[in-house]
Amino acid sequence: MDAICGPEATQQDVYALFKPIVASTCKGRNGCVFAYGQTGSGKTHTVVGGDDFRSRGLVPRAIGQVFREAAKRRRKGGDVAVSCTFAQVYDDALYDLLDEGNESDDVGEWTKASVLEGDDGSLTFEGLAEYGADEEEDALRLLWVGTARRVLGQTKANDASSRSHAVFTIYVVDAQRKTRAKLHLVDLAGSERFGARRDGGASAESRNINLSLHYLEQVVRALRDGADEPRHVPYRNCVLTSMLRDSLGGNQGRKRERNSQLQRLRSRPFPTRFG
């Protein structure tokens, strides 16, 4: 399901579209929400939010909903645990935004994480720490710490454009239901034409961004076209799609539409070609 929100939509209006996905994750189903669009289209503001409570974005609102749902389960005797990771995909490499060792302004000096696939198709992330969150404030603190470390750069459209894909993931483990579900909340890097950086020297960076968006488009199209008839989905083409695989398309051996929920917020439809 896709959603296009006009400029008059409030943060609350936008979040109302995604509440069912968050609720479903609390019941044991993987989910994925991503914001796509050109630099300056308001993706990061929509995902993270502004400075006041009313302007908080999708991630803070999702965190609040998860902890409210967890509290309801606990009042009924349930045993629910919440944890989070915060990753950055930059130049098709995966980094932990919550790693205190990743303090250098040069992301090339950061420690790389990796996506590993088990024999059963399960995914693990080596070098990406998962932090327990006992309270809503714990998860929010992780969000703010990671956001401050995200790679930014100047483009002709925006002085502080996000030059990486940011993936904040909430894990919900329910002992009674014997489920472990994850919700990926993704702020994609702004799509740009080659050479859009003011310094004129970031064409490789732009190519990597556009290429990963192209691969994401391929995956979404393959999932759409294969809804009735199974077909190959090219998850392994890049780090971003590999990381999101079990939330975009469900677990192997089970019908995708029954195991994942995908929704994307976009400023315009996926183009046929990027760049």
* Average pLDDT for runs of 10 along the chain of length 275: 72 91 95 84 84 89 98 94 96 93 83 86 87 97 92 48 86 95 92 55 78 92 76 89 86 32 48 37
Per residue in 153-181, is it b (16+ CB within 10 Å) or e — as a string? bebeebeebbbbbbbbbbbbbbeebebeb
Percent of the chain having pLDDT more than 70?
Answer: 79
Bind-site residues: 37-44
Cα end-to-end distance, the chain, whole Å: 25
Select 2-266's CATH number: 1.10.10.10, 3.30.465.10, 3.30.70.1060, 3.40.850.10: 3.40.850.10
Bind-site residues for ATP: 37-44
Please give the C-alpha separations between residue 60 and each of 48, 141, 183, 234, in angstroms, as whole numbers.
Answer: 7, 10, 13, 31
Residues 115, 239: Cα–Cα separation, whole Å: 7
Global pTM reads 0.84
Residues 231, 56: Cα–Cα separation, whole Å: 39
- In the chain, domain spans: 2-266
Nearest CA to 167 among 216, 222, 118, 105?
A: 216
123-146 pLDDT per residue, tens: 788 999 999 999 999 999 999 999
Structure tokens at 224: 């759409």
